[in-house]
Amino acid sequence: MHFSEETGNPHIIPAANSVADALRLTPRPVDDPSMDAARLLRLYDSMNRDLQTDLLWMRMLDPSGPLNSAALILDQTELYMAMHDSPGEVHRFLGNIADFVMELWRHQLNSSGGRVCGSMWPYIVLPQDLGVVVTEDLMPLLSAEQYQEFGIPLLKRMSSEFGALAIHCCGQYAHQVANLKKSGARIRALEFHHPYTRIEDLEPLADSTVFIPYLAVGKQDRFKSAVEFYRHLLRETPTHFRYWFACVEEDEQTFAFVRELEAEGSNGRWSGAHGLSNV
């Protein structure tokens, strides 16, 4: 890893520059004591002991799915080119990653004693009997045809294994909504960031999926704050749209919004945000 001279952001150097090289890589065991999963579980166990409780919940590691992981392991340009030139090898590569990612998730789920409540991102609480969180940030970068071929089979596999998915994607992925709708995967919740993806784009999924809205304040001039955006969603979108608001801003505007929702607890849309087991 190194840090960009332009932005200061971290950049992970790819481990492979061709899909053939990537297929020769072998990951360490998921329970390797030097790796992050083992460190996380040691910390979780230590906190339970120190607090003398068994009531703590644990968040899993970064929930990067197979496609996202592939784009970190293999140079992204080479990955996209291989989807055209060597699709069979890409499918093998993604299958290997899916095997590892799902084993890693199972290891954390099982080793926590059934106390996983989501992942590092997004800021939601998802008890593990309701599914797992997966990051799908390559949806904006692939055509609908590419995602149908390389992404949707992985979503179906993960959904079948873990019961349901909550998907994080912070980019522009409206062109993938039809794929998600017909995927056969159980998508319990779906994150979107306005204005990159708009709530209108997600209407085909509204009957079966809870939406997790975020606002890129500096990329639009319609809404001055996330709370203003949330109020717009509750006021202007159809009543069968359900929302899960991750109120992370610690300011009086956010506190007032939460108090209003609590006071209107009989409102179907607010209660629906809690009723994820019905989705």
Instruction: Give residue 1's pLDDT.
Output: 65
Q: What is the predicted pLDDT for the residue at 267?
A: 53
Helix (H) or strand (E) holding 168: strand 165-168
Q: Domain with 274 in it: what CATH number?
A: 3.20.20.210
Convert the pLDDT of each residue in 137-186 to its tens digit.
999 999 999 999 999 999 999 999 999 999 999 999 999 999 999 999 99
Return the pLDDT at 120: 85
CA-atom Rg of the chain in angstroms: 20
Q: Which domain holds residue 159?
A: 2-278
* Residues of the chain where predicted confidence (pLDDT) is lower than 70: 1, 266-279
Report CA-CA distances (Å) from 12 to 245, 251, 272: 31, 34, 39
How many domains is the chain partitioned into structurally? 1
Q: Quick one: which of 80, 79, 102, 62 has its CA closest to 23? A: 79
| pLDDT of res. 162 | 97
**Spatial contact of 59 and 147, defined as CB atoms under 8 Å apart:** no
pTM of the model: 0.90
The tens digit of pLDDT for each residue in 92-101 reads 999 999 999 9
Q: Looking at residue 6, what is its pLDDT? A: 80
Q: What is the pLDDT of residue 247?
A: 87
- How high is the pLDDT of residue 274? 40
What gap in Å lies between CA 45 and CA 56, rounded to an integer?
10
